[in-house]
Amino acid sequence: RHVNLQDSYKDPEKVNWPSTLSDREKYMFMIRRGIEEGQIRPNYQPLMSTYDEVYGFEVLVRWPHPEQGTIPPNKFIPFAEEEGFVDEIDRYVCEYACREMKQLMDALGQKFILSVNVSAKHIVKGHYVEELKATLERTGFPADLLAVEITESSLVINLKEAAQVIEQLRELGIQVWVDDFGTVYSSLNYLRNLPLDLIKLDGSFVKNIHESHVDRTICETIINLAHDLDLQVVSEGIEYEEQFNTLKAMGCEYFQGYHFKKPMSLDEVKEYLATVKVLDQESLA
């Protein structure tokens, strides 16, 4: 069936969609179109060390829609997961980011970690590791500077399959991180079963750390547990100096949040990097 996609992504209301297309199918078209036209693209939020140096950047997808304003990932990633094509988005965003950041690192003579979000639905879909390897080859981005962030909730579903993929990623030198740690009931079960590098302490625990004894205790306990298991920790959602200082005192290695910087476009990253220090990667090895 023929669909005239001209301008369809701009205003689905104005398009003469075939009556057989559901709203979900139209939205899927819009997203694919957003990718084809390069509207959907990565932004970057710095991950900071205890010394206010940049450890790396998290890649966060952005969709600045010409008519609808910026559509946040929480509006279209879960949809793409449900419809089974989130892998198209993840692959595209990852390749885009690896290419841009490889060029930037070469131009600046600097090295930093790049962490990409991936849906666990994607990693167990098959061929994930081969595809990622091909992306690294095409872009020249070094495997040992790449980290894959897997959200906790999605790990639980496919623990066994996820474990195999994680093993293969680590063999390539790619780090595996758990995102939003602490928000799911069975967290401890997969800490036991998966070979991970780092956990990202969910921002919801950090939010009221200065006034809640309970939240402080949870943060400290998670950080200590992580360290006992040889995992590093990124604290998410740092908005105030106080939160940074408290978590630093608890031994957390890395930090991320609006207190340092909001997610930025590549051009903004370039300006930003001219004003900050980058952590020496060699010193970590």
Rounded CA-CA distance 204/215 in Å is 9
User: Which of 35, 60, 123, 136 forms a contact with ligand C2E (CB under 6 A)?
Assistant: 60
Residues of this chain, 83-122, that bind Mg ion according to CB under 5 A: 117
Q: Which is nearer to ligand C2E, 15 or 198 (CB)?
A: 198
Q: d(Cα 166, Cα 176) in Å, to the nearest integer?
A: 7
- In angstroms, rounded to a whole number, what is the distance separating the alpha carbons of residues 285 and 273? 22
Residues 70-89 that bind ligand C2E (CB under 6 A): 72-74, 77, 86, 89
Q: Is 235 a residue that touches Mg ion (CB under 5 A)?
A: no
Nearest residue by C-beta to ligand C2E? 257
**C-alpha to C-alpha distance for 269 and 274, rounded to whole angstroms:** 9
Q: Contacting ligand C2E (CB under 6 A), which of 15, 30, 54, 61?
A: 61
Residue of 87, 149, 152, 253 that binds Mg ion (CB under 5 A): 149
Q: How far is CA 249 from CA 1, 122, 180, 193, 242, in A?
A: 61, 37, 21, 29, 11
| Residue 90 sits in the site that holds ligand C2E (CB under 6 A) | yes
With CB under 6 A as the contact rule, the residue among 39, 135, 139, 151 that binds ligand C2E is 151
CB atoms within 10 A of CB 72: 12
Angstrom CA distances, 124 to 44, 119, 158, stand at 26, 9, 8
Q: Taking CB under 5 A as the rule, does residue 180 contact Mg ion?
A: yes
Nearest CA to 256 out of 175, 180, 170, 191 is that of 180
Q: Does 222 bind ligand C2E (CB under 6 A)?
A: no
Binding site for ligand C2E (CB under 6 A): 45, 60-61, 72-74, 77, 86, 89-90, 93, 117-119, 149, 151, 179-180, 203, 236-239, 256-258, 263
